[in-house]
Amino acid sequence: MKLQVRGFEIHKGLLDAAAQRGILDAVRKVVAQAPFFRPDTPYGKPMSVRITAAGVYGWFSDKAGYRYVPAHPSGKPWPAIPGEVLSIWSQVTALDRMPECCLINYYGPDARMGLHQDRDEAEMQWPVVSISLGDDGLFRMGNVTRGGKTESIWLQSGDVVVMGGDARLAYHGVDRIRPGSSRLLPKGGRLNLTLRVVT
Ligand code: SIN
Ligand code: FE2
């Protein structure tokens, strides 16, 4: 089922259980090479999500600001974006251009992500594709300018969101997760993968 909310294209239940497990296995291989870490915000407070990445670039944040970097904090290059994940990009965008970053966010029971725009990429005409796995997350969608009315939807394991067109620069965030709502991750929590064209 595909929903449209403020230009956000929400493919509910795009990934069946087997596809979710396949992506989870691929994510585990990435995380074995590039362990999760907790970045600092430019304001000095650590983010509540833990992050890592795959691709030529990974998204990164510290006191110097938000940016894309070619290596994990360990100094090693990021692992390649798994083929299963690239297939989802191709399926939902039908683009020849491939993403260069797969940011992987892990939300523990108390993690959240404040409303923000994705605007650290060089060219913002390309969509951002988000894949949700594990516990449900309350995803809030706003406007291209700060403030105003917002709408929220619970994203569940296997849901895929395309943020393109009017939604590409729209504010969005995750208010909270619903711990224990999925059994995909043995220790619980929520994984979100976002695919971005960076350069
Ligand atoms: C993000 O905006 O980077 C994450 C969105 C989500 O976790 O669903
Ligand atoms: Fe985002």
- Ligand 1 atom with minimal separation from the 105 CA: 7
Q: What is the pLDDT, as a whole number, of residue 51?
A: 98
Mean pLDDT for 61-80 is 97
Mean pLDDT for 190-196 is 98
Give, using CA atoms, the residue closest to atom 7 of ligand 1.
Answer: 192
The H helix count followed by the E strand count for the chain is 2, 13
196 lines ligand 1 (CB under 6 A): no
| pTM listed for this prediction | 0.97
Give, using CA atoms, the residue closest to atom 8 of ligand 1.
Answer: 192
pLDDT bin (cut points 50, 70, 90) of residue 28 is very high
At 137, list the tokens.
Answer: 């997350």
Q: What is the pLDDT, as a whole number, of residue 44?
A: 86
Domain ranges of the chain: 2-196
113 lines ligand 1 (CB under 6 A): yes
Which class would CATH give 2-196? mainly beta
Q: What is the pLDDT, as a whole number, of residue 66?
A: 95
Cβ neighbours for 67, distance < 8 A, ≥ 6 positions apart: 59, 60, 61, 120
Q: Distance (Å, rounded) from C-alpha 34 to C-alpha 106?
A: 13
**Is-contact 123 197, C-beta < 8 A?**
yes
Ligand 1, pocket-test mutation among 192, 195, 196, 198, most atoms within 8 A of CB? 192
Asked whether the predicted pLDDT for residue 98 surpasses 90, the reply is: yes
Mean pLDDT for 148-155 is 98
| Burial (CB count within 10 angstroms: exposed 0-12, middle 13-18, buried 19+), residue 173 | middle
State the average pLDDT for the chain. 97
**Is-contact 133 158, C-beta < 8 A?**
yes
**Is-contact 63 40, C-beta < 8 A?**
yes
Asked whether the predicted pLDDT for residue 37 surpasses 90, the reply is: yes
Asked whether the predicted pLDDT for residue 138 surpasses 90, the reply is: yes
Other residues' Cβ atoms within 10 Å of the Cβ of residue 103? 24
**Is-contact 134 184, C-beta < 8 A?**
yes
